[in-house]
Amino acid sequence: VTVKDLAGKRIVVTAGGTREALDPVRFIGNRSSGKQGLAIALAAAARGADVTLIGANLEVRPAASTGLHVVDVSSTLELEAAVTAAAPGADVVVMAAAVADYRPETVAQSKIKKETQGDTLQLTLVKNPDILRGLVESRREGQIIVGFAAETAEDREALVELGRAKAARKGADYLVLNRVGWTEGFATDGNAIIILDAAGVIVGEAAGSKTSVAAPILDLLT
């Protein structure tokens, strides 16, 4: 039996990868599947939490029987609107989603055609809001905010160094670091994580299935 040590906690988890439209049929996206965020959401629900999963283009969906409240979004601005609406009622927000840092400045209203573009096509991208930073700035007393950092670091030391700088920049209570690459991190069933606190101190480390590494993250929220 699972101990219901998160009973009474309202947890918002974002998962998946945002897509930024170029035209009605194309987007700029990333390879995040949503599996890690989903694993955290399911594990939190199993431990008794009331969980809202804000899913950006999830490759895998929770069954209705899991009791998760699912909100589907696609772009970064949609994800921002959904998480900003849900955060005030949450004890914890876990930002596991891979959010696009930039989006096309304009979205073409009909398909971009190579016949009218010539041999090169220039895209102008504008910066998206940093949702995590916004959540930290409007955080209420006692609310816990967990960020993620997916990095293509050379090794563990480089990963931790990048993570410490990010922890200082973002101001989240915890930052979950994981290495990503062509074959690591995104879209796989396994993961290896290092958890930093706001000061950059390592407070957890785990490797295994995405389900198993969810446990030490949730342990920090009890």
| Binding-site annotation, residues for CTP | 101, 111, 129-132, 148, 166, 170
In three-state form (DSSP H/G/I as H, E/B as E, the rest C), the secondary structure along the chain is CCCCCCCCCEEEEEEEECCEEEECCEEECCCCCCHHHHHHHHHHHHCCCEEEEEEECCCCCCCHHHCCEEEEECCHHHHHHHHHHHHHHCCEEEECCECCCEEECCCCCCCCCHHHHCCCCCCCEEECCCHHHHHHHCCCCCCEEEEEEEECCCCHHHHHHHHHHHHHHHCCCEEEEEECCCCCCCCCCEEEEEEEECCCCEEEEEEEEHHHHHHHHHHCCC
Provide the sign of the torsion angle of the four alpha carbons 127, 129, 131, 136, taken in this order: positive
Angle at 68 between CA 67 and CA 70, to 5 degrees: 135
Q: Which residues are annotated as a binding site?
A: 101, 111, 129-132, 148, 166, 170
Which residue number, 70 or 112, has a Cβ lying nearer to ligand C5P? 70
Footprint of ligand C5P (CB under 6 A):
76, 95, 97, 99, 101, 128, 130-132, 147-149
Per the annotation, the verdict on 128 as an active-site residue is no
Q: Closer CB to ligand C5P, residue 49 or residue 95?
A: 95
Q: What whole-number distance in Å separates Cα of residue 68 and Cα of residue 66?
A: 6
Report the catalytic residues. 30
